[in-house]
Amino acid sequence: MVGVLKRPMDMGEAFMTCGGFVRYFGTNEPVIHIAKVMEGRQPRRVLACCGGGDQALTFLGLAKEHPEVYAFDMNPAQLFVLACKARLLEEGQVKTFSPSFDRISRSNLGRIRALPQDVRRISRLVNIPARKAVRVSADFAGKFGFEVDSGMYDYCQKNVYWANDKRFIMKIRASLAGLKAIHADALSVADWFAREYLDIIYVSDIPLHNAIPFYLERLRALVDRLSPGGLVIGNAEDQQELDRCPSIIEVMRCYKELFGLLEFRQEGQIVALMKTGAKKQKRDKQG
């Protein structure tokens, strides 16, 4: 394929080689909002954050014939989840889309486990401005702790609007050959593609811990892989949550002039930014 600089995995290879601890089995994002911000576009080439895989499958159903949908994730367990969901569809589960983590983990023993919840005891409280620590009572320490990690997220399938749409499911099933997996993070996945190769890049709510120049340069390289007129789509969380890291889409929105992006559309918390510049002609005939 012209424009793909490294070899991605097909779903069979992802199923055979990936695994580990799963953080996301479903999605908390209403994928109908992703479809709405696209305004009826039918992309041919999509790069999507994998997570639980539902968004990548959605793009596969929304795309033109013979699509290329590349799901990337730094956690190989998420790529395995996507491969399992693809196998369920390929094996003929076309009336409804209702995958189960328990079913998949039991039928693939030792391949994946749910990321466990991590709750720890409190022995001391720290006054950060004063840089002083106070030891708590044994009674308090025995009753209360703090959550380091909430474990695996297994969201309700209600966020997947096409879960009972037989026609949409059959379209996904017919396009599964175009679904590929890439083991990479958002800052390195640009190296897999030539400039202006992609129609849509979906970055979900991937956090960016600091907008340092190196990170901005890597994000600019990612946007460079998008064709003029193409869309970057992501989840912009509640701006009032000041204690969290901004997401990639929020950073791109803040520095949109640097990246050559324009506001395009927003549905709920799903934001689409459009790359400026003249569109190439007959680009779909490449490759």
SS3 content of the chain, % helix, strand, coil (to 5): 35, 25, 40
CA–CA gap between residue 20 and residue 2 (Å, rounded): 32
What is the model's pLDDT at position 282?
47
Lowest mean pLDDT among 23-27, 39-43, 223-227, 238-242: 238-242
> What DSSP character marks residue 259?
H
Select the more confidently predicted residue: 260 or 148. Answer: 260
Measured between alpha carbons, how far is 261 from 264 in angstroms, rounded to an integer? 9
Q: Is the distance from CB of 152 to CB of 115 less than 8 angstroms?
A: yes
Where are the domains positioned within the chain? 9-113+152-285, 117-149
Give the Cβ contact number of residue 174 at 10 Å. 13
- May I ask the CATH class of domain 9-113+152-285? alpha beta
pLDDT in tens, 74-103: 999 999 999 999 999 998 755 788 899 999
pLDDT score of 262 more than 50: yes
The pLDDT value recorded for residue 33 is 95
Does this model's pTM top 0.85? My answer is yes
How many contiguous H segments (helices) and E segments (strands) does the chain have?
A: 10, 14
Question: Is 233 within 8 Å of 249 (Cβ atoms)?
Answer: yes
At residue 94, the pLDDT reads 59
